[in-house]
Copies of this chain bind each other. A is one copy, B any other.
Amino acid sequence: MRLSTNRKMVDNVRENTVRSIFEQGGTVVNGWLGIPSSVSAENMAQANWDSLTVDLQHGVVDYQTAVTMFQAITTTNTIPFARVPWLGPGIIMKLLDAGAYGIVCPMINSRAECEAFVGACRYAPDGYRSFGPVRAAWYAGADYWQHANSTVITMAMIETQKAVDEIDEILSVPGLDAIYVGPSDLALSIGCKPGFPPEDKVVDVIKVIAAAAKRHGIYAGIHCGSTAMGKEMVSYGYQFITMLADNAFLAAAAKKAVAEMRDTESDTGKQSGPY
């Protein structure tokens, strides 16, 4: 009988390579999934992203579909993350049980909110996550539960003036691994226009957040509208760079093809950009 080479049978937890890249000072190239389909997810996963984030907030995706997208991502070595619609233990824990190796939580504006978020991602005694990691154990191995608290990445979104004002309180919550900046919400919050590239006033705050993260030993991520913006953000200290989203890629490519065939100008440039 031939040897089993199934990775899942190995008796220790799957490495969270996003954390490894963070620790080695590298840059995580993160893709973003807003189309609710395991097929588009696998399509994207073929591009060799370090991580792919299933977006249950502004993406058109709900939990049941997200599970199939995690499965699609798991056909590659790319690490699955999820953004939850809002802070709430139910959906956070369901996505962790489904195998998310990182949770991005929107609108963390106070220390209390950050504690509630991080606690939902950690088993006792570090938090209040409930036990039952069915798919997570398939994804990560039978020892998952013993290593989950140090494996799963908690990523709080800093995207309002209030969050910036209270950033030291927020970033000092034990168990918080990283923050994530939503430039559009941040822009709206300080009276600027959402979209990419962000206005200078927004960039200034983005730098402030990076500095705070560095001060607290917290990794920083951000949503970007182009690779140029991504590289600029790396230069500010951001290590987790999201490139637009599947639906934005599809829209731009389709509009470009139609415009070229009709010899008209695409309106892609006019887009104010999502997130």
Give the B-binding residues of A (Cβ under 8 A): 1-2, 4-9, 11, 17, 20-21, 24, 26-27, 29, 31, 34-40, 42-44, 46-50, 56-65, 67-68, 71-72, 74-78, 84-86, 88-91, 93-94, 97-98, 106-107, 123-125, 128, 130-135, 137-139, 142, 145, 159-160, 182, 184-185, 187-189, 191, 194, 227, 230-231, 241, 243-244, 246-247, 249-255, 257-258, 260-264, 267, 270-272, 274-275
- Given A48-B258, A230-B261, A260-B227, A132 contacting B85 (CB threshold 8 A): no
| Copies per complex of this chain | 6
Q: Give 8 A-B pairs besides A1-B26, A36-B39, A48-B258 with Cβ atoms closer than 8 angstroms.
A: A2-B17, A27-B261, A71-B71, A85-B93, A86-B89, A124-B160, A132-B184, A227-B261
A230 to B188, CA, bound (A): 42
A203 to B67, CA, bound (A): 34
* Closest B residue, CB atoms, query A123: B188
Residues of B within 8 A of A184 (CB): 131-132
Residues of B within 8 A of A72 (CB): 71
Residues of B within 8 A of A98 (CB): 60
Cross-chain contact A39 with B60 (CB below 8 angstroms): yes
Interface centre among A9, A90, A132, A252 (most CB of B within 10 A): A132
Interface centre among A88, A107, A130 (most CB of B within 10 A): A130
Partner pick for A124 among B26, B48, B189, CB 8 A cutoff = B189
Cross-chain contact A37 with B37 (CB below 8 angstroms): yes
Residues of B within 8 A of A275 (CB): 131-132
